[in-house]
Structure 1
């Protein structure tokens, strides 16, 4: 894994992120990883509209992700942010009814480019997000992966936030179910000044 590097999604790295998304046809219905943002209240935007929205959110400092690089090319990412930045989680009504407290950060989407899957890059992306969160002061972090234990094999294209088992390997603990087949995983992340 030492050949991979992590960079934060910033205006300077946006073109690398855009190239990754474009190589993968805009991701999930040309979402451009905007679905979880409040500004994406109107679903069904065009790919161009979602791209412009994501670029504006990044420029405004209210869209965060850890980008995984193989050389000079971004090949995976993990989107993270505060609940205010990313309120549109799946099964929100159930989530709100069962939450004892909101996290400081949530990881909402992890994606690995098709040709790079099966190499552990989802874990690298999650680790990168945790490291960037630590540099930002740390706090309680939640993820909402798929709980695939006992389920027949699921196509990796539909695992938009990886699996419970991977989160457990990365130090997260199970909190509760969320929706059908997903769960809430939590981890307390200490503040750090190290660079990923």
Structure 2
């Protein structure tokens, strides 16, 4: 199917069922995380698949969880999670990140997931572009992401482990490399004008 047949929609209470179906089709994503890991720490977080599902749904209902959903018809086939640092404060290598940052961005893209049937077909890029478009509609600003930096890696990495895409992909999307974060990730940034 051609890319032009895909739609991008925000994660909202109306699109929740499509997001939920995508997660269910993939066994809860990484053992039932429901892409809740980057949200604020709370007693409800990490309480198993159903607990994470309920918590994510409550964030969506309150407008505190954002994602660009890539839809093939009515079926969600990918998402790119984004939000403000208040909405998504948890990062891998947080201590290093805080010690080396100049300022917080306006927005973060923290997780991208693609249905296994659609991987390696450009859908990751569509999801990230969708997130950038939705950020523009929300006023734009400085956007950070933390992709995997495979620049010097010779060993092939399974796409299922690349939860936020690669440095090369973000460079194609106009992001600038800022610094390493941990051993295999990096900080990249771009500025999105508001619309």
- Where on the TM-score scale, by shorter chain, does this alignment land: which range? over 0.9
**Which residue does the alignment assign to 2:34?**
32
Scaled by the length of structure 2, the TM-score of the pair is: 0.96
Alignment equivalent of 2:64, drawn from 62, 84, 91: 62
Determine the C-alpha separation between the residues in 2 that align with 1:150 and 1:37.
Answer: 31
Q: Counterparts of 1:75-114 in structure 2 under 5 Å? A: 75-114=77-116
Specify the SS of the correspondent of 1:153.
coil
Shift of residue 41, structure 1, vs aligned partner: 5.9
Gaps of 5+ in 2: none
Shift of residue 150, structure 1, vs aligned partner: 2.1
**Which residue does the alignment assign to 1:166?**
169
2:160 is the counterpart of 1:157? yes
Q: Counterparts of 1:132-151 in structure 2 under 5 Å? A: 132-151=134-153
Q: Is the 8 A contact 1:34 1:40 kept in 2?
A: no
Shift of residue 74, structure 1, vs aligned partner: 0.4
Determine the C-alpha separation between the residues in 2 that align with 1:61 and 1:41.
Answer: 20
Q: Is the 8 A contact 2:45 2:52 kept in 1?
A: no
Gaps of 5+ in 1: none
**Which residue does the alignment assign to 2:9?**
7
Q: Is the 8 A contact 1:8 1:132 kept in 2?
A: yes
Over aligned residues, Cα RMSD in angstroms?
1.0
Shift of residue 24, structure 1, vs aligned partner: 0.5
Determine the C-alpha separation between the residues in 1 that align with 2:47 and 2:124.
Answer: 27
Scaled by the length of structure 1, the TM-score of the pair is: 0.95
